[in-house]
Structure 1
Amino acid sequence: MNDPQSPELHGYCPIAYFVLNEPMEGKSEFYSTYDGKLYYFVSDEAKQEFDKNPEKYIPAYGGLCAFGMSIEKEFEPDPTNFKIIDGKLYLFLKNDETDALELWNKEDEAKCLANANKNWQSKTMA
């Protein structure tokens, strides 16, 4: 019954980032697909909220690392390493060597966003 593909955000609920300001794992019984991608939610209420306006809740840059996008690189983000900027969810790489959110926060955020948006637009237009 459930879509056999892997869920976006490694199964974390996109609504929880906004409501709780923290990542929470969704449950496979509460799911939606949007733009061909599968999302899990913590509750039916969260699923219904997402279904009303999915664009509000999906991560920027197709779920790629925002810092990576700002430097024209594609990094797989850690879904627990995030920041909400102007009502949009941004995800960041985090591993033993690098915390991309830390790097992002040391930079001029407006400049990083402008670069990431430009690079994403180039990528999606190609």
Structure 2
Amino acid sequence: MTAERQEINGIWHAVEFRRGIALFTFLAGFLSAGPDSLGEWAGSASAARAATTERVVANRFSGLAIEGYDPVAYFVDARPVRGLAEFEAAQAGVVWRFHNEGNRASFIARPDIYGPQFGGYDPVDLARGVTVAGNPMFWLVSGERLYLFARETHRDAFAAHPKAFLQRATSRWPALEEGLAQ
């Protein structure tokens, strides 16, 4: 065997060894979760990636609430509309963008009405007891309030039974909100 092949072979074995360690660690953690929580763990794996620790969901790199979409546009235009940098407002520790000055003024006057409920967290997940950031593309205005959802299926389930989800989400929100950073 040539020196080059020996070196490549040695690197390959090191990579395989590291993969084996990673797989073992993953399986050990998975199996230690216990049979009662395996279904919950599998269902919430994607939720854990989307969870955040802020009271209002914001992009951690840009600081923009709801990814820079105009919260008033959901009411006025009945669709998500990107806000513009020239129409910004700081509220609740994040930066909000608006499509025009009128939308900005409306939001500043009534952020409790136009801002997404539960700080932009998915109310279906809140009802389950977890905080998962809503996606500005999966939204619903219900009872004159804006709700953002992590998944389209959550929006559809909420639309079918808003009172049931809101009752559970509202009862769990204070404790969940307390655990979020200010």
What corresponds to 1:122 in structure 2?
A: 175
> Is the 2:88–2:95 contact (alpha carbons within 8 Å) kept by the matching residues of 1?
yes
Distance across 2 between alignment mates of 1:24 and 1:117 = 28
Output one character per residue of 1:23-42: Cα deviation in whole Å (capped at 9) or x when no partner: 10000110001111210000
Q: What SS does the aligned partner of 2:89 have?
A: strand
Distance across 2 between alignment mates of 1:104 and 1:122 = 21
1:105 matched to 2:159? yes
User: What is the identity percentage for the equivalent residue pairs of Structure 1 and Structure 2?
Assistant: 23
TM-score using structure 2 length: 0.61
What's the CA shift for 1:125?
4.5
Count of residues in Structure 1 that have an aligned counterpart in Structure 2: 119
Larger Rg, first or second structure (1 or 2)? 2
Name the one with the larger helix percent: 2
Q: CA RMSD in A?
A: 1.7
What corresponds to 2:78 in structure 1?
A: 21
Distance across 1 between alignment mates of 2:139 and 2:107 = 18
What's the CA shift for 1:9?
0.7
TM-score using structure 1 length: 0.85
Question: Aligned AA for 1:114?
Answer: Q
Give structure 1 stretches of 5+ with no counterpart: none
Name the one with the larger strand percent: 1
What's the CA shift for 1:5?
4.2
